[in-house]
């Protein structure tokens, strides 16, 4: 026993790095996790906490003036800020209309092409292109399409003898124009998710339903939709979260105009933070958007029983 | 082996980072477009001449303000000089982002900028306006002019537009005869800065202004304002469809392509209109002063000015560069590169004025001297945004011009705390 203990000591002493190596071995799991945790702290946790801190302060653009604690003052401003109300209303309109259209088109296309798409790889690639483009490139492309005097859309209208439109510059068409561009870019995303969902459907229930004489519509409504529910939920959730953050298209196409008709929350936050140099209030609006997104997502996940 | 490789890479990365930070002696934030391009070219010349490395960081118009404001608020010292649009000066100066240039002039044995600079160009570089210390030096002499196709105007029965009534008369005739493809007038109707910039000269030409003389009262909703708005709405009716979203590029393109006959515009567009590779209207566009309303017309001044950031660690080097870049010789070179000058000697230099592409210089010099600055207020970006929203609504027809004035009055009162 004594011999063995003595052997053990001499072995430990003879190992290079001794105590450091033992410590590293004991804490290996923490050491392995440390880089990820540090990056997460630096890039996610710290900015989030800082945003909470900023939201309860009035921050002057003058660096020599101290931050003034205003408590819930910035949040109270949300109630009386007419521009915020306009941006909120526009964001809701955009999110509801754009995501609904994208979903219906994506699902429709997926159902239509489900049987053929596996053979048409080229078509699948083409349909994915809008989704892979940088949002700013999409916005500039649509700006050129919508340009009232030289844009291709009005050129087509002119040649067809139809009245020319101002598109993104028309107070009644501006939001529609942005929704069309967004639908063009993001319908393929829903389409691909639905296609993946359809490919994973079991065959047996359909065979049984067909034997029972169920119509295609009944099969779609009672089998396809319930089976696709988790995929639909994920697709809608991701699109709603993304639509609530819409910025690029509006920034390039309309700048929030005309007449404030396309001012959305992200654009307003940007203006408040950078143009009006009021980062405290911008942080409060950002937290409001975060809160709405979390509440919506939680409600949606519960409703679609994704949590189960 | 792996450890050695890692250490070598780390050392190389550190060396790169350090050398990167120390790469430039001066860093200048400039806008994209001819103004920034001009200063970037000057910086390259300066580096060759003096051996001082000048790095220029170029950003779109709005981002220059944002990056400058961020650098000022965080005292980062990342930029030594910022090339500012003149309405930003009160914001930068009153929030402590700009260096007072007085001690630097003294050290150079100067009282201040010399008398060759146009007086209006110098006035904007003092904060408060025309009375405080110099916080910048003027570099690009922008002031709006009235651009028009003289032949088309003549066809419409107007020889040279002197008043807004002349402009309306010609524009109405040209638009009516244009079949929806040609228009008598075009303007920047985009919400925010564009629509405000193109409305202000009309506003002033009817005797209206945003504030009273001592800036103690907002004066938007007045009979003078209503008269200006009436003309603005009449001009909208003879402009292309979609003008509500137009910015400088759309207006410039409409004129260069010959699809609109006239507009208020900035002088740096002259180079485009006179360039055969970019314009169908070479030699056909005439330049004149802003037309009169019930009062003489007045251009909006929109100079680009250079200021030293307070957090700069290279202030003396920055001042030396600014003084050099705004010297008569360099302003002349800048003019040849397409940027309007800020010095009388360059405006009247026969070497330049005999050239066709500088034929607008007498008009521009007069325009600068008769110009009006946008209200000098540290909250100008917010004021401009609020006013721009109401003007945009009026242009789009979602509210009446009277409502636009009333709403703008209330919004600006709320922002400024003035009643």
Encode pLDDT of B174-206 as tens digits: 999 998 889 999 999 999 899 999 999 999 999
Q: Is residue A56 part of a domain?
A: no
Quick one: A219 and A144 in the same domain? yes
In whole angstroms, how far apart are CA A150 and each of A147, A195, B57, B309? 6, 38, 32, 42
Residue A174 has pLDDT above 90, yes or no: yes
Identify the pLDDT of residue A123: 78
Q: Which two structure tokens, joined as six digits, stand for B105?
A: 């002039």
Identify the pLDDT of residue A4: 45
| B244/A60 CB distance under 8 A | no
DSSP label at residue B111: S
Identify the pLDDT of residue B229: 98
Looking at beta carbons, which residues of chain B come within 8 Å of A62?
73, 94-96
Q: Which two structure tokens, joined as six digits, stand for A73?
A: 């003052």
Strands (E), A94-233: none
Residue of B73, B189, B396 lying closest to A63 (CB–CB)? B73
Ramachandran category for residue A62: left, alpha or beta (phi over 0 → left; psi -120 to 50 → alpha):
beta
pLDDT tens digit sequence for B294-304: 999 999 999 99
pLDDT tens digit sequence for A256-295: 989 999 999 999 999 999 999 999 999 999 999 999 999 9
Distance CA(A212)–CA(A218), nearest Å, equals: 11
Identify the pLDDT of residue A122: 79
Residue at a domain's end among A33, A49, A65:
A49
Q: CA angle at residue A300 from A295 to A306, to 5 degrees?
A: 120
Identify the pLDDT of residue B21: 44
Looking at beta carbons, which residues of chain B come within 8 Å of A275?
62, 65-66, 381-382, 385
Identify the pLDDT of residue A116: 67
Quick one: A114 and A261 in the same domain? yes
Identify the pLDDT of residue A301: 82
pTM: 0.86
Neighbours of A224 (CB within 10 A): 20
Distance CA(A173)–CA(A177), nearest Å, equals: 6
Q: Is residue A120 part of a domain?
A: yes
pLDDT tens digit sequence for A226-254: 999 989 999 999 999 999 999 999 999 99
Q: Which two structure tokens, joined as six digits, stand for A117?
A: 């798409």
pLDDT tens digit sequence for A130-159: 989 999 999 999 999 998 888 999 999 999
Mean pLDDT to the nearest integer, A197-215: 91
Quick one: A17 and A127 in the same domain? no
Ranges of residues in chain B with a pLDDT under 50 are: 1-7, 14-21
Q: Is residue A216 part of a domain?
A: yes
Identify the pLDDT of residue B9: 53
Q: Which two structure tokens, joined as six digits, stand for B377?
A: 């207020």
- For A272, the closest chain B residue by CA position comes to B382
Q: Is residue A215 part of a domain?
A: yes
Distance CA(B25)–CA(B30), nearest Å, equals: 16
Give the phi and the psi of residue A210 in degrees, each rounded to 5.
-65, -40
pLDDT tens digit sequence for B226-265: 999 999 999 999 999 889 888 888 899 999 999 999 999 9
| B392/A61 CB distance under 8 A | no
pLDDT tens digit sequence for A105-114: 999 999 888 7
Q: Which two structure tokens, joined as six digits, stand for A133?
A: 């483009």
Residue A140 contacts B, CB cutoff 8 Å:
no
Residue-range definition of the domain harbouring residue A9: 3-49
Nearest to A249 by CA among A171, A151, A173, A174: A174
Identify the pLDDT of residue A154: 92
DSSP label at residue A214: -
Quick one: A44 and A82 in the same domain? no
Looking at beta carbons, which residues of chain A come within 8 Å of B397?
171
Q: Which two structure tokens, joined as six digits, stand for B288?
A: 């004149």
Nearest to B388 by CA among B188, B226, B250, B193: B193
Quick one: A19 and A146 in the same domain? no
Provide the number of structural domains found in chain A.
2
**ipTM of this model?**
0.84
Contact B291, B161 (CB under 8 A): yes
C-alpha B86, offset from chain centre? 7
Residue B188 contacts A, CB cutoff 8 Å:
no
CATH number of the domain bearing residue A218: 1.10.3720.10
Quick one: A100 and A210 in the same domain? yes
Quick one: A31 and A94 in the same domain? no
Residue of B95, B96, B190 lying closest to A257 (CB–CB)? B190
Min distance B164 CA to chain A CA atoms (Å):
25
Quick one: A175 and A33 in the same domain? no
Quick one: A91 and A31 in the same domain? no
Identify the pLDDT of residue A21: 87
> Which residue do the tokens 């002019």 mark?
B145
Q: Is residue A116 part of a domain?
A: yes
Mean pLDDT to the nearest integer, A288-304: 88
Q: Is residue A254 part of a domain?
A: yes
Q: What is the bridge-based pairing of β-strands B137-140 and B304-308? A: antiparallel
pLDDT tens digit sequence for A58-75: 999 999 999 999 999 999
Residue of A149, A164, A257 lying closest to B259 (CB–CB)? A149
Identify the pLDDT of residue A2: 40
Identify the pLDDT of residue A1: 39
Q: Is residue A8 part of a domain?
A: yes
Quick one: A189 and A291 in the same domain? yes
In this prediction, residue A300 has a pLDDT band, given cuts at 50, 70 and 90, of confident
Identify the pLDDT of residue B315: 97
Identify the pLDDT of residue B12: 53
Looking at beta carbons, which residues of chain B come within 8 Å of A259?
191, 244, 389, 392-393, 395-396, 398-399
Looking at beta carbons, which residues of chain B come within 8 Å of A254?
191, 245
Quick one: A202 and A121 in the same domain? yes
DSSP label at residue B288: E
Q: Is residue A224 part of a domain?
A: yes
Quick one: A9 and A125 in the same domain? no
Identify the pLDDT of residue A93: 97
């Amino acid at each position: 026993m004594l011999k063995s203990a003595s052997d053990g000591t001499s072995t430990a002493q003879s190992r290079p790095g001794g105590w450091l190596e033992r410590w590293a071995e004991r804490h290996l799991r923490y050491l392995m996790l440390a880089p990820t945790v540090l990056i997460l702290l630096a890039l996610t946790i710290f900015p989030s906490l800082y945003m909470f801190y900023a939201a309860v302060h009035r921050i002057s653009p003058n660096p020599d003036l101290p931050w003034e604690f205003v408590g819930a003052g910035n949040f109270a401003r949300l109630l009386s800020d007419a521009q915020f109300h306009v941006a909120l209303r526009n964001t809701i309109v955009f999110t509801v209309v754009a995501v609904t259209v994208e979903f219906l088109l994506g699902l429709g296309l997926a159902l239509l092409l489900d049987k053929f798409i596996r053979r048409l790889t080229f078509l699948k690639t083409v349909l994915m292109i809008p989704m892979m483009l940088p949002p700013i490139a999409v916005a500039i492309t649509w700006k050129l399409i919508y340009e009232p005097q030289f844009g291709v859309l009005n050129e087509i209208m002119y040649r067809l003898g139809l009245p020319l439109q101002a598109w993104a510059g028309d107070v009644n068409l501006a939001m529609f124009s942005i929704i069309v561009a967004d639908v063009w870019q993001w319908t393929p995303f829903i389409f691909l998710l639905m296609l993946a969902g359809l490919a994973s459907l079991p065959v047996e229930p359909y065979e049984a339903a067909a034997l029972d004489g169920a119509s295609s519509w009944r099969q779609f409504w009672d089998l396809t939709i319930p089976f696709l529910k988790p995929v639909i939920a994920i697709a809608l959730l991701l699109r709603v979260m993304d639509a609530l953050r819409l910025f690029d298209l509006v920034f390039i196409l309309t700048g929030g105009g005309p007449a404030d008709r396309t001012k959305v929350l992200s654009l307003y936050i940007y203006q408040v933070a950078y143009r009006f140099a009021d980062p405290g209030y911008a942080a409060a609006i950002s937290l409001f958007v975060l809160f709405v997104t979390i509440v919506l997502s939680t409600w949606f996940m519960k409703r679609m029983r994704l949590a189960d | 082996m792996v450890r050695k490789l890692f250490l070598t890479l780390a050392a190389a990365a550190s060396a790169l980072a350090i050398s990167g930070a120390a790469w430039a002696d001066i860093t200048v934030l400039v806008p994209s477009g001819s103004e920034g391009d001009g200063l970037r070219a000057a910086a390259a010349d300066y580096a060759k001449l003096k051996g001082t490395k000048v790095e220029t960081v170029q950003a779109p118009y709005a981002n220059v303000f944002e990056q400058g404001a961020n650098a000022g608020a965080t005292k980062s010292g990342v930029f030594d000089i910022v090339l500012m649009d003149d309405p930003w000066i009160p914001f930068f100066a009153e929030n402590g982002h700009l260096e007072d240039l007085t001690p630097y002039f003294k050290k150079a044995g100067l009282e201040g900028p010399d008398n060759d600079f146009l007086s209006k160009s110098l006035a904007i570089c003092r904060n408060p306006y025309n009375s405080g210390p110099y916080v910048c030096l003027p570099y690009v002499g922008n002031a709006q002019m009235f651009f028009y196709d003289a032949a088309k105007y003549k066809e419409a029965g107007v020889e040279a537009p002197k008043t807004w009534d002349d402009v309306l008369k010609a524009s109405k005739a040209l638009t009516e005869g244009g079949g929806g493809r040609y228009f008598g007038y075009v303007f920047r109707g985009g919400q925010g800065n564009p629509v405000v910039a193109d409305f202000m000269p009309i506003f002033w030409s009817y005797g209206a202004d945003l504030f009273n003389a001592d800036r103690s009262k907002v004066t938007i909703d007045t009979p003078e304002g209503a008269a200006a708005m009436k003309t603005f709405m009449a001009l909208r009716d003879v402009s292309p469809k979609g003008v509500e979203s137009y910015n400088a590029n759309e207006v410039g393109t409409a004129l260069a392509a010959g699809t609109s006959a006239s507009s208020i515009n900035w002088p740096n567009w002259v180079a485009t209109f006179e360039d055969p590779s970019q314009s169908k209207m070479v030699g056909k566009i005439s330049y004149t002063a802003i037309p009169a309303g019930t009062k003489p017309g007045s251009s909006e001044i929109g100079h680009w000015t250079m200021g030293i950031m307070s957090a700069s660690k290279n202030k003396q080097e920055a001042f030396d560069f600014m003084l050099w870049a705004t010297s008569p010789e360099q302003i002349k070179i800048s003019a040849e590169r397409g940027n309007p000058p800020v010095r009388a000697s360059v405006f009247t230099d026969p070497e330049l004025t005999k050239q066709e592409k500088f034929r607008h210089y007498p008009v521009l010099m007069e325009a600068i001297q008769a110009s009006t600055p946008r209200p000098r207020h540290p909250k100008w970006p917010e004021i401009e945004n609020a006013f721009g929203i109401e003007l945009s609504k009026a242009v789009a027809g979602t509210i009446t011009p009277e409502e636009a004035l009333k709403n703008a009055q209330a919004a600006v009162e709320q922002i400024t705390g003035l009643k």
